[in-house]
Amino acid sequence: MNKIYLQSKSKGGIFMPTGTKLETALASAKGLASDMKTFSLDTDNQEAKQMFNQLSSTMENVAQTLQSRFDYVKQEEPQYNK
């Protein structure tokens, strides 16, 4: 089975498993979606409310895409099932 790796520049060229990077990106996308929804609820400005709702929806779609990819990587790399 081929291992899936992603080179991380932030780690000085150390190869990190893609699943680890996807987990981080997925958590960030979910957090951003939540933040945008909160911003929408916190404003009375209708234009801002609409913008934040659109951004929240976009980030939810990003999170779903990342989740699908992470699920695939988990199937390919058994260490993520521990």
Tokens of 48: 């801002």
* Closest C-alpha among 70, 40, 66 to residue 52: 40
Digit-coded pLDDT (tens) for 66-76 = 999 999 988 88
Digit-coded pLDDT (tens) for 11-69 = 555 566 778 889 999 999 999 999 999 999 999 999 999 999 999 999 999 999 999 99
Contact partners, residue 7, CB within 8 Å, separation at least 6: 13, 14, 15, 16
